Structure 1
Amino acid sequence: MNWTPDAPVILTPIRYPLTAQSTQTLDHARGIAEEYEDAQLLVLHVDLVQANQHSTAQDIHRAITPIVGDQSASVIVQRGFIIEDVIREEAEQRGADIIVLGQNQKPRWQQYLSRVLGNNPDIISYLQDRTDATIETTG
């Protein structure tokens, strides 16, 4: 682990509108953040260019507030085509020590493409290979 135990930067990618998996992932990240006095919780949503999404940080912040409660969280909205690349870039730019992901988190289009092509791109493995952050996953 490359983070100091007293102030980790925790990056948590979520889907918006929130899914059950996103809610579970966010709750797990909140729990980790609460273990440290000065943890910085960053909630990332990627608006997919190919889906023509346009989410706002304010809308996402309102949606996550009941889940994060008193834990301070910053919301980041980025546009991108490949989610794992955006997550990696944000992790690098923000100095993320921990990335909290849902288990087997893959965009729907990648799940479909995986079935058609017979390959299995995995965000967890991708990020483990390309970042220095500790990867935490939810059930």
Structure 2
Amino acid sequence: MSNNKKKQQCFVQQDFPSFNVLQRCDGTTVTYFEDFTDNHNKALIQVFSTTQQSCTLTVIIDTRDGKTIERSIPVDPAFGQAERIFQVEDVCRVSFRCAGGLPTSLCTGFVQMTKTFCICCPGDEENKEKKHCGHCGWTSNCRCPRA
């Protein structure tokens, strides 16, 4: 009796998105990064802020399972900057809100991300019943919740 089942093929990849943050201090939330893939991921997110002291920059990280992480990035007056680092699983959106000062003031900063993800392609029909994020050719339940 031969077994014709094929092994699942998986590949680990990395993306390195980076972007500047520049927005008015008016309380508006702006999305800077979105992941529309089905791939399971882990992300290291470094946020650097050089925001004017009258404003507060807040990072908002959404995950595929519906969790929202909100953290203020207060600038140290002695240095005129701040840095926060986050490691998060299944990131689907990174947004920022700038509030607290005059609407004409600005929040400024920079974000560097390292996103490690796995792409898996099933080798047989049996794998279709498993809930894998990151696969080829069939629908997943690993989508980012709507903003």
With structure 1 as the length reference, what TM-score do the two structures score? 0.27
Which structure has greater strand proportion?
2
Greater helix content: 1
Larger radius of gyration: 2
Give TM-score scaled by structure 2 length. Answer: 0.26
Higher relative contact order (CA 8 A, sep 6+): 2
